[in-house]
Structure 1
Amino acid sequence: MKVFVVLALALAAVSAETVQQVHPKDLPRDTKINGRIVNGYPATEGKAPYTVGLGFSGNGGWWCGGSIIANTWVLTAAHCTNAASQVTVYYGATWRTNAQFTHTIGSGDFIQNHNWPNENGNDIALIRTPHVDFWHLVNKVELPSFNDRYNMYDNWWAVACGWGLTTAGSQPDWMECVDLQIISNSECSNTYGYQPDGILCVSTSGGKSTCSGDSGGPLVLHDGGRLVGVTSWVAGNGCTAGLPSGFTRVTNQLDWIRDNSGVAYY
């Protein structure tokens, strides 16, 4: 029995060493998966009114997702804002670039978590925006309350919605959503090595996952509709590999979000 235990631990160690994590926006644009949420379903109009598209300028430009958390704030991933000179925010779009309206915002209104990228689990950023009014196609998503800050949400179901670029990046894509089950960090660590509490992982069984173009987008609980994750990374060997995907855990960022934006729920 001891021999089998040692062998199992050795295999786990090898797995943790060989599986890499990559930001979805940095994956190659694959013609087969069209760079979007894979194996999901088309969103109905108004399904995720808190989701915004983010078209960043700088070094060729790139596409990310984000979440409206208040009339003047959008939450996204720090790796999305990094090295960007400005961003165009697409509000209320079901087709990626066919928005209800847009705002273009300079990098002076980006706030990255100061612990990123030196500490895993801090891939998060705020974008200060002009005031937007809320209606059924453009609305905020609520954060978890401070009472839930220690809830790990293991085995809870959540939904991720967003867009990804096609190979040429020139044609608009319809918003896609995918339902994902949150897994424990210990289970996630079996694949990638130790994952701190600041990381939230989901199962991607059946190839259901976030992918290129979905960086920074929301993960929202089915039960209660609270934002619990910001899309951060996927397995380096592909979105459809069936390996866990990682999000920045929003409950670990509640103090940072409150201190920088004033948005909090008690």
Structure 2
Amino acid sequence: MKFLIILALAVAASAFPESELVHRYRVMPVLDNIEGRITNGQQASVGQFPYQVGLSLKLSPISSAWCGGSLIGNTWVLTAAHCTEGIQSVTVYLGATVRTSPEVSQTVPKSDVIIHSGWNSKTLKNDISLIKIPAVAFSSRIQVVKLPAIANSYSNYEGSTVIASGWGLTSDSSNAVATNLQYVAATVISNTKCAATYGTNIVTSSNICIATTGGKSTCSGDSGGPLVLEASKVLVGVTSFGAAAGCQLGYPAAFTRVTAFLPWINANTNISY
């Protein structure tokens, strides 16, 4: 079966000075015929996710996109390749709970973005990128998230409870990214189960997927954001794609598996555990 990849775009509320703000999110058709952002999540408290960053991505003089990311060092942000593809510059919001009220914001050009050389927008392979930012001072609201240890490179985390966070859409009927940071707890499922929805040529060993029981899921605008283990707060995923049918219909949500890219991250940032 040939898969079509769709970039979900929608006009958001005028929370930014740009004339058009869209939220980037990759969606995939599902393999079955069932019909049916952080959706059905909770509002984060101040400082609850100090590693969460927001990204306002300048696409052209008249349009910008919104994504999330994770602070992994005082000069490095990890996000999704499909977020940073084709941008002119990016403004990084650090220490924010209310999306438009960061503790620090920094704008960097596209030359400070490293997109994985193997990124493939058709198959969503290697959906990961890095953003180099000026050194930021840590505070109660700005902290790095730990990466998995190299020794855990082969962990699949199936059955683990994880937390996803972001400012994405809060329902399938919404057309604006959230004002307040949202989060949701979910369970990691096997790649086999995830591939039953999206296909084995889309879901590979470099992905990690979660069940979206009760419609609790990531959604448009959450792309690039963190998926961490609830117990240890270790970063195991980068929000990548969901089902074209909708975020609340119970289809798995898929992430870039961080353990698959530890050598690449280290080679570009010298960060490792």
TM-score (norm: length of structure 2):
0.84
Q: 1:100 is matched with which residue: 99, 103, 127?
A: 103
Distance 1:185 1:22, change over 3 A: farther
Contact 1:64-1:80 within 8 A present in 2 as well:
yes
CA distance, structure 2, for counterparts of residue 22 and residue 264 of structure 1: 34
Q: What root-mean-square deviation, in Å, do the aligned CA atoms of Structure 1 and Structure 2 show?
A: 2.1
Contact 2:168-2:218 within 8 A present in 1 as well:
no
Which residue matches 2:114? 111
Q: 1:137 is matched with which residue: 118, 141, 149?
A: 141
Contact 1:19-1:237 within 8 A present in 2 as well:
no
Q: In the TM superposition, what is the alpha-carbon distance from 1:134 to its structure 2 partner?
A: 1.2
- Could you list the runs of 5+ residues in structure 2 that have no partner in the other structure? 14-22, 24-36
Q: 1:75 is matched with which residue: 74, 78, 86?
A: 78
* Residue 194 of structure 2 is aligned to residue 193 of structure 1: no
Contact 1:21-1:233 within 8 A present in 2 as well:
no
Q: In the TM superposition, what is the alpha-carbon distance from 1:68 to its structure 2 partner?
A: 0.2
Distance 1:155 1:121, change over 3 A: farther
Which residue matches 1:14? none
Which residue matches 1:37? 38
CA distance, structure 2, for counterparts of residue 19 and residue 180 of structure 1: 26
CA distance, structure 1, for counterparts of residue 71 and residue 53 of structure 2: 7
Which residue matches 1:85? 88
1:258 is paired with a residue whose SS is: helix
Q: Which has the higher helix share?
A: 1
Distance 1:135 1:211, change over 3 A: same
Contact 1:22-1:234 within 8 A present in 2 as well:
no
Q: In the TM superposition, what is the alpha-carbon distance from 1:143 to its structure 2 partner?
A: 0.2
Q: In the TM superposition, what is the alpha-carbon distance from 1:167 to its structure 2 partner?
A: 3.3
Q: In the TM superposition, what is the alpha-carbon distance from 1:121 to its structure 2 partner?
A: 3.7
CA distance, structure 1, for counterparts of residue 166 and residue 125 of structure 2: 21
Q: 2:166 is matched with which residue: 135, 158, 162?
A: 162
- 1:114-159 deviation line (CA, Å, top 9, x unaligned): 0001664410000000001112100000000000000000010110
Q: Which has the larger radius of gyration?
A: 1
1:257 is paired with a residue whose SS is: helix
Contact 2:76-2:130 within 8 A present in 1 as well:
yes
Contact 1:206-1:242 within 8 A present in 2 as well:
yes
CA distance, structure 1, for counterparts of residue 247 and residue 176 of structure 2: 19
CA distance, structure 2, for counterparts of residue 85 and residue 234 of structure 1: 26
Q: 1:149 is matched with which residue: 146, 149, 153?
A: 153
What pairs up with 1:1-266 in 2 under 5 angstroms? 17=1, 22=6, 26-28=8-10, 36-59=37-60, 60-117=63-120, 120-164=124-168, 167=175, 173-194=179-200, 195-265=203-273
CA distance, structure 2, for counterparts of residue 68 and residue 216 of structure 1: 11
The range that moved more, 173-182 or 159-168, is: 159-168
Q: In the TM superposition, what is the alpha-carbon distance from 1:78 to its structure 2 partner?
A: 0.4
CA distance, structure 2, for counterparts of residue 174 and residue 20 of structure 1: 32
- Could you list the runs of 5+ residues in structure 1 that have no partner in the other structure? 1-16
1:89 partner letter:
V
2:151 is paired with a residue whose SS is: helix
Task: Number of aligned residue pairs: give it.
Answer: 242
CA distance, structure 2, for counterparts of residue 61 and residue 19 of structure 1: 27
1:201 partner letter:
C
* Percent identical: 45
Which residue matches 1:8? none
CA distance, structure 2, for counterparts of residue 126 and residue 244 of structure 1: 25
Distance 1:244 1:30, change over 3 A: farther
Contact 1:161-1:218 within 8 A present in 2 as well:
yes
Q: In the TM superposition, what is the alpha-carbon distance from 1:163 to its structure 2 partner?
A: 0.5
Q: In the TM superposition, what is the alpha-carbon distance from 1:164 to its structure 2 partner?
A: 2.5
